[in-house]
Structure 1
């Protein structure tokens, strides 16, 4: 027993030198056929150079902001001093100078973002940090200049890229931390806020695609889980769009064909309650045009106030709904099919 100099193995014919530890590029698996040490060094060097360049840019911008912050602080001190000495004209002059400097800071920041966007160096993190600073430092100008709308225009392509490939019914909590930050920056509490627009055009599109392709109302758990997590972040308009994915009827007598649901199934309603699905089948509506309006796969839910027809399903079937004021008409292939009217909140089909 004990150490003996030489190679590995019983006869000492194995390797003599220890195995070298070599770092592979990020996400590169073991046994990748094109991997080599030179490529690894090159990839690491490129990453290091990118990080170094980004740090230099951020350092330069921080220095520029610090200089302008010092000028603003100096102006604030001069304004207070003039107010104490009752120098009104000087106060007015200094306040105008401060306003010009604030606009200069904002315009300079937006110009830098434009450059980053054109060069492909813009990220949600960098964008969020800058607009968070502007919102906190200049709250009045943030609203007055519509900076939330400008922030949304910069963020839209980045969010589209971020949410590409996301399945909300499989990974419902994915990206929720990013959305939480941007809800505040885009005035998410307002009904017609840039946040609502961003949510509907990005998040809702992904949810709608996933629910259309994979979700079944008779198995609502994945969508219920998503809604439970995202409810505080979901604009009301988007919530209504997410829920409007199935035809629903409360009257059993309206079904011309019907199949009872054997196992208990439930679905999430717009008022936050959960209703039992009794069955599903076909409903035929007789329109004022004299045509029969056939609805398939209609869910039977007894305790629903209004029977619901899903607009997305009609669109997928080739129907076109045209709204004007408090009325709408339904056509298919330029042929008139039916009409309806606005009754308080929901639109109603005329039968």
Structure 2
């Protein structure tokens, strides 16, 4: 019954638990009263043990401080404890034998006490009632008992017992009322009034009554039971919901596992099919006769199989690593087919370049899909084609350009862009540079453009820039001894018009061509109606297709038209003869015919020719010629400024100095440090030896703009034609290459 009551207690609310606990306590008290109330054990008797005579002898020197402390705590002599039932003599220390456990062999820990005494002490130990007073504090001392207070023990009493105790004390007694929904602290008289039938209204609205069968308490208990039952119902519903959710999750998991099993089953079937197809392809390839069906027949069988697998089983193709299997089989078949293959020497027993390209395109789709940018296909090319292609292109005759260019154009669809660019930069471009290094412009009967121009559409811009720099350097060295009357230079340079960058062409012409043309125009062209030789003039103006027009017009305005106007004026002022003006007119037409149409259409050239006609018309009408000459002199600076602006528009700098500043420019011109026709490199070698400076190639810097970099003293330099470039370091690191004069280089090198 008690177990059932405890189970019920756990299910009820707190207030109901308190009520049931109080009732149970009352029942226990009544049961104990019926069985007999006088069975309480008496307090233990004081212990009758003789005190040791030597006890406390050691404390005489200190005045018995310990005894004083014990007396202050209520000790009156005899045994220890509240009822003097403890030991009298102190515990004596006794050496226990080595490795002996506690209590082994009847060993006694307490001195002078038998086992019976110990049992009696343990059996008679019982606490006194609460009414026992604390030991009084000794007057005149500051000592007080220390220690933690024991928690008060709760005692449950009936109303009748409390009344009896209150009558004895004649004082109101506080009681704990546990009859309502909440535990309340009240006084005994109020409880008595309630038992007499008087109702008391509490603050929460509950009104207890004196009757045991009243309805409010029963209603409250029923509400508590209903609330508890509703809680159980909610818990049951929640449990049912949880079970349904668990069942639903298990069903979903079962469906997922079933789908996974089905997928794995299909994957296993696909894998078995793939293995069967690959084995069949290997058997079919092994049975092929290469001599009858061709060298690429085995590769075709493998390509057909893997193309089909990639198209129909694309996921499994990547999942099971079939590209690597295809690579191994394809590389093996292509190596057999290309054994002894020479790209530039086709053979009937070997595949042609077009056949090889078609096969490589198929393998490109198999290994890399439609993009063809992965590393696996490039690895296939490295193992099969690239080594033979490198040998063929690195040793070919680039002057016989038809075969290598055709080979590259046919292979290009099968080569990824990075691989094709690598072939051009690493195999073709070095071969062209090597051939240009052996080219001699003055001795080679074949012009360089005839075998370099076909490569322009093949090579990338980076490789072409290096080749063009090398060609310009070779031509500049060859044009040092060139004379403008020789037309071979024009044959070599004219094909490069439109191929080289305009700025590069202008630098080359201004350094190697224009100075000699200007010298020929100023000193070699003579205008004399009696003895005329137009050959030097034709040698100058035939460069109009290569040299920018503003440069040639500047030469004519500065060095030719002044001579031509002077000769015309002298002839017009000479004594009149028969047919004089007809002769002047034919002479004017002859010079006009020597000027190309492109030059003649230039506004400044057209203005000069028109001024000549104005002079002839003025002479025929006997008008003075000086006003026309003066207007021409005044227009000359404006014409030069127009030419300068035209040159700047193309980024080609000034072309000629005005006549008024020609003398000043000549005075400012620096004199060479060393005489003779020495090159810049030879001049630097002599200066380095004279000044004790280091002048040698800088292997760390290598090449710069197609020219070798040298160390000159503390500077790095390179020589491009007749121009000296010096590396000027910056403060934060790096620097720039700038053109320098030799005098400035010497100051910097020191």
Whether the 8 Å contact between 1:148 and 1:185 is mirrored in structure 2 is: no
Distance (whole Å) between structure 1 residues aligned to residue 501 and residue 333 of structure 2: 45
**Within-5 A mapping of 1:182-331:** 182-188=411-417, 193-216=418-441, 222-245=447-470, 248=473, 259-264=482-487, 265=489, 266-267=492-493, 268=496, 270-271=500-501, 278=513, 282-284=678-680, 291=688, 319-323=697-701, 330-331=710-711
Judging changes above 3 Å, is the alpha-carbon distance between structure 1 residues 260 and 102 closer, same or farther for their aligned structure 2 residues?
A: same
- How many residues end up aligned between the 2 structures? 243
Instruction: Note the C-alpha offset of 1:338.
Output: 3.4
Does structure 1 retain, via aligned residues, the 8 Å contact 2:697–2:709?
no
**Counterparts of 1:115 and 1:237, CA distance in 2:** 37
Determine the C-alpha separation between the residues in 1 that align with 2:302 and 2:379: 25
Q: 1:237-266: CA deviations, max 9, x gaps?
A: 2212222325659x9xxx9x7643432324
SS in 2 for 1:232: coil
Q: Which runs of 5+ in 2 are unaligned?
A: 1-288, 344-352, 517-676, 690-695, 718-725, 746-750
Counterpart in the other structure of 1:53: 291
Take 1:226 and 1:259, find their aligned partners in 2: how far apart are those partners? 24
Helix, strand or coil at the partner of 1:222: coil
Matches of 1:234 and 1:121 in 2, distance apart? 28
- How far residue 143 of structure 1 moved from its aligned partner, in angstroms, is 0.9
Q: Distance in 2 between matches of 1:115 and 1:52?
A: 9
Alpha-carbon distance between aligned partners in 2 of 1:153 and 1:282, rounded to the nearest angstrom: 53
Deviation at 1:179, TM superposition (A): 0.8
Distance 1:55 1:232, change over 3 A: same
Q: Aligned pair in 2 of structure 1 residues 262, 146: CA closer, same or farther (>3 Å)? A: farther
Is residue 2:321 matched to residue 1:100? yes
1:55 CA drift (Å): 3.3
Contact 1:321 1:331 in 2 (8 A): no
Question: Are 1:128 and 2:357 matched, yes or no?
Answer: yes
CA distance in 1, matches of 2:728, 2:333: 48
Rounded to whole Å, the distance in 2 between the matches of 1:160 and 1:130 is 20
Question: In the alignment, is residue 112 of structure 1 matched against residue 333 of structure 2?
Answer: yes
Q: Is the 8 A contact 1:160 1:202 kept in 2?
A: yes
Q: Secondary structure, in 3 states, of the residue corresponding to 1:262?
A: coil
* Selected match of 2:716 from 330, 338, 349: 338
Distance 1:110 1:261, change over 3 A: farther
- Matches of 1:161 and 1:194 in 2, distance apart? 16
Query: Is 1:159 aligned to residue 539 of structure 2?
Result: no
Q: CA separation of 1:52/1:151 partners in 2, compared to 1, >3 Å: closer, same or farther?
A: closer
- Higher mean Cα deviation, 215-224 or 59-68? 215-224
Match of 1:142 in 2: 372
Please give the TM-score of this superposition, normalised by the length of structure 1: 0.51
In 1, distance between residues paired with 2:688 and 2:329?
Answer: 62
1:75 Cα offset (Å): 2.0
Offset at residue 233 of structure 1 (A): 0.9
Within 5 Å, give how 1:33-48 maps onto structure 2.
none
Take 2:432 and 2:306, find their aligned partners in 1: how far apart are those partners?
44
In 2, distance between residues paired with 1:212 and 1:133? 41
Alpha-carbon distance between aligned partners in 1 of 2:397 and 2:423, rounded to the nearest angstrom: 18
- C-alpha deviation, 1:161, in angstroms: 4.1
Q: Distance in 2 between matches of 1:107 and 1:225?
A: 45
Structure 1: 5+ residue runs without aligned partners? 1-50, 77-92, 293-317
Give the Å deviation of 1:234.
0.6
CA distance in 2, matches of 1:148, 1:220: 42
Match of 1:72 in 2: 310
Three-state SS of the structure 1 residue aligned to 2:456 is: helix
- Report which structure shows greater RCO (CA 8 Å, sep ≥6): 1
Residues of 2 paired with 1:232 and 1:109: CA distance? 33
Residue 168 of structure 1 aligns to a residue whose secondary structure is coil
Match of 2:409 in 1: 180
Work out the CA distance in 2 between the residues paired with 1:331 and 1:59. 60
Q: Distance in 1 between matches of 2:291 and 2:360?
A: 22
CA distance 1:213–1:147, shift in 2 (3 Å): same
Higher normalized strand content (fraction of residues): 1
Classify 1:167/1:96 alpha carbon distance in 2 versus 1 (closer, same or farther; 3 Å).
closer
1:168 counterpart = 2:393? no
Cα–Cα, structure 1 residues 336 and 186, in superposed 2: closer, same or farther, change >3 Å? farther
Q: Which has the larger radius of gyration?
A: 2
Contact 1:258–1:282, Cα closer than 8 Å, also in 2: no
Secondary structure (helix, strand or coil) at the match of 1:330 reads strand
Displacement of 1:178: 0.9
Deviations 1:96-136 (A, max 9, x none): 44x7333432342234345566xx34565365343322334
Superposed CA deviations along residues 272-324 of structure 1, whole A, max 9, x for unmatched, are 78675526x7532677x9638xxxxxxxxxxxxxxxxxxxxxxxxx8344239
Normalising to structure 2: TM-score of the pair? 0.27
Q: CA deviation digits over 1:137-195, x for unaligned, max 9?
A: 544563122634652564343234434664333x232321111133444344xxxx332
